[in-house]
């Protein structure tokens, strides 16, 4: 096992720069997830770590070794590909032990590890089949098996679950979590699915357009997004971003006024001062999950009421119900539970804890709490 360190890593394809200088340390035994929208450079970053893509500038270290010029076969890594990349002419068994044989592992040891992986991934009945005779989920597990039998320093995953259906994806997520718990191998996992990122990661790297937007533990990113991009990208349903105005009285959102919570007062004052004390526009971010129906809410010291909101749409989802309502000029979404049995086109009073409300600078998109 080993840590992985990227220092100012840049990737260029001709004139196009795909990755703009990534600084990242993945600690020994850590499960790191790279997440971001399509084309943001996640795969490119992962493939540079694997050695499948040359590094244009910067350094990549695995453990203490600089691997920029080390070919993939000498990096001692294992990788699970999005399209599995199983050897079509080899049986499941041969696919799994292929790397072990190459590493001249003792036959008894190969046998042991194969048996263990096959049991863990429930592949025993399929060991003699060719990949073509397997379902997508089974192929996925073979690809996983091929990685875990190896004594690799680092496991790399490039969207390994994106070809599976929702239920299988959920099962495999649990499986991957279990494997990581058992083996504790340093893992780097690429996905565009923020649910996978949240559930699997020790830490998450949020990327956009070849830049890192934020690095942190999943809950830290969820609760304290650094900017508008991570705020809306992480969390489902996505955070409401509302247009408001900040002045000395607080934040105005349509006819409602939210006081600035104590923790953010210094930042707000500084922001106002920078604008010569005039009222300035601001983006307000509130997650749908943090709205509460005032009828059932327990009011804390920082709770505020937003009264008389007009409900436009109600979508019952079983235990949850998502409602779309109007506030100020914008429409927003709240996730309530089945106790709030409201009709469309009626009104509702919603409560929210100010600690859970984010204020973003509309120009830079930065979260004002983190600017301080």
Partner 1 sequence: MKPQTVLERAENRFGWQLVAPSLGVIGLLILYPILYNVYLSFFDVQLVGDNVFVGLENYQRLLTDSAFYDSLTTTAIYLLGTVAGTTLLGLGAALLLNQDFPGRNVVRGLILLPYFAPVISVVFGWQFIFDPVNGVYNYMVVEVFNLTDERMNVIRDPDLGVIVVIVFDIWKHFPIAYLLILSKLQSINTDLYEAAAIDGHGPWGRFWHVTLPELYFVLGTIVILRFIWNLNKFEEVFLLAPNVQTLPIFTYYTAFTGVIDQGLAASVSVIQFVLLCGLIWFYVKKVLKW
> Applying CB under 8 A, which residues contact partner 1?
50-52, 71-73, 77-79, 81, 83, 85-89, 98-99, 102-103, 146, 150
Q: Which does 250 bind (CB under 5 to 8 A by kind): Mg ion, ligand ATP, partner 1, none?
A: none
In terms of CB distance, is 85 or 127 closer to ligand ATP?
85
Which class for 236: exposed (0-12), middle (13-18), buried (19 or more C-beta within 10 A)?
middle
Minimum gap (Å) between residue 42 Cβ and Mg ion? 6
Does 191 help bind Mg ion (rule: CB under 5 A)? Answer: no
In terms of CB distance, is 15 or 363 closer to ligand ATP?
15
Q: Which does 173 bind (CB under 5 to 8 A by kind): partner 1, Mg ion, ligand ATP, none?
A: none
In the region spanning residues 133 to 192, those forming contacts with ligand ATP, defined by CB under 6 A, are: 192
Does 311 help bind ligand ATP (rule: CB under 6 A)? Answer: no
- CA-based angle 316:318:323, to the nearest 5? 25
Choices 18-26, 40-48, 261-269, 309-317; region in contact with Mg ion by CB under 5 A: 40-48
| Rama region for 365: left / alpha / beta (φ>0; ψ in -120 to 50; rest) | left
Q: Please answer whether residues 320 and 366 qualify as being in contact, where contact means their C-beta atoms are separated by less than 8 angstroms.
A: no
Mask 22-41, x = binds ligand ATP (CB under 6 A)?
A: --------------x-xxxx
Minimum gap (Å) between residue 351 Cβ and partner 1? 52
Q: Which does 52 bind (CB under 5 to 8 A by kind): Mg ion, partner 1, ligand ATP, none?
A: partner 1
Give the residue among 181, 187, 230 at the shortest CA–CA distance from 208. 230
Does 44 help bind ligand ATP (rule: CB under 6 A)? Answer: yes
Q: Which does 39 bind (CB under 5 to 8 A by kind): Mg ion, partner 1, ligand ATP, none?
A: ligand ATP
In terms of CB distance, is 50 or 253 closer to partner 1?
50
- Kindly tell me which residue out of 5, 43, 227, 367 binds Mg ion, with binding defined by CB under 5 A: 43
In terms of CB distance, is 74 or 122 closer to partner 1?
74
Choices 41-49, 200-208, 282-290, 358-366; region in contact with Mg ion by CB under 5 A: 41-49
Point out the residue whose Cβ comes nearest to ligand ATP. Answer: 43
Does 194 help bind ligand ATP (rule: CB under 6 A)? Answer: no
Minimum gap (Å) between residue 131 Cβ and partner 1? 11
Which class for 371: exposed (0-12), middle (13-18), buried (19 or more C-beta within 10 A)?
middle
In terms of CB distance, is 92 or 207 closer to ligand ATP?
207
Q: Which does 71 bind (CB under 5 to 8 A by kind): Mg ion, ligand ATP, partner 1, none?
A: partner 1
In terms of CB distance, is 88 or 276 closer to partner 1?
88
154-158 vs 186-191, strand pairing mode: parallel
In terms of CB distance, is 62 or 271 closer to partner 1?
62
Does 244 help bind ligand ATP (rule: CB under 6 A)? Answer: no
Point out the residue whose Cβ comes nearest to Mg ion. Answer: 43
Residues near ligand ATP (CB under 6 A) are 13, 16, 18, 36, 38-44, 192
Q: Which chain residues interact with Mg ion by CB under 5 A?
A: 43
């Amino acid at each position: 096992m080993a840590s992985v360190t990227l220092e100012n890593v840049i990737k260029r394809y001709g004139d196009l720069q795909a990755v703009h200088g990534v600084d990242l340390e993945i600690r020994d035994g850590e499960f790191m997830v790279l997440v971001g929208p399509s084309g943001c450079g996640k795969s490119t970053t992962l493939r540079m770590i694997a050695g499948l893509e040359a590094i244009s500038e910067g350094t990549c270290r695995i453990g203490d070794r600089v691997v920029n010029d080390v070919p993939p076969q000498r990096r001692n890594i294992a990788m699970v590909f999005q399209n599995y990349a199983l050897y079509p002419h080899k049986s499941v068994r041969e696919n799994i032990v292929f790397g072990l044989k190459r590493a001249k592992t003792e036959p008894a040891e190969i046998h042991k590890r194969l048996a263990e992986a096959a049991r863990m991934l429930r592949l025993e009945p399929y060991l003699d089949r060719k990949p073509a005779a397997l379902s997508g989920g089974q192929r996925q597990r073979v690809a996983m098996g091929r990685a875990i039998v190896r004594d690799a320093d680092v496991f790399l995953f490039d969207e390994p679950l994106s070809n599976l259906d929702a239920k299988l994806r959920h099962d495999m997520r649990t499986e991957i979590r279990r494997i990581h718990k058992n083996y504790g191998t340093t893992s780097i996992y690429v996905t565009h699915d923020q649910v996978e990122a949240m559930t699997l990661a020790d830490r998450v790297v949020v990327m956009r357009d070849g830049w890192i937007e934020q690095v942190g533990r999943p809950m830290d990113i969820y609760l304290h997004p650094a900017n508008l991009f991570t705020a809306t990208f992480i969390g489902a349903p996505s955070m409401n971003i509302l247009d408001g105005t900040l002045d000395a009285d607080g934040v105005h959102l349509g006819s409602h006024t939210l006081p600035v919570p104590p923790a953010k007062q210094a930042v707000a004052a500084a922001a106002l001062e920078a604008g010569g004390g005039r009222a300035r526009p601001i983006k307000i971010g509130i997650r749908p999950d943090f709205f509460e129906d005032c009828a059932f809410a327990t009011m804390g010291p920082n709770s505020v009421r937003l009264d008389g909101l007009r409900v436009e749409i109600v979508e019952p989802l079983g235990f949850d119900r998502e409602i779309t309502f109007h506030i100020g000029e914008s429409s927003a979404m709240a996730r309530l539970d089945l106790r709030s049995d409201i009709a469309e086109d009626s009104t509702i009073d919603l409560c929210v804890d100010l600690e859970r409300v984010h204020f973003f600078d509309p120009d830079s998109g930065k979260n004002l709490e983190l600017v301080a």
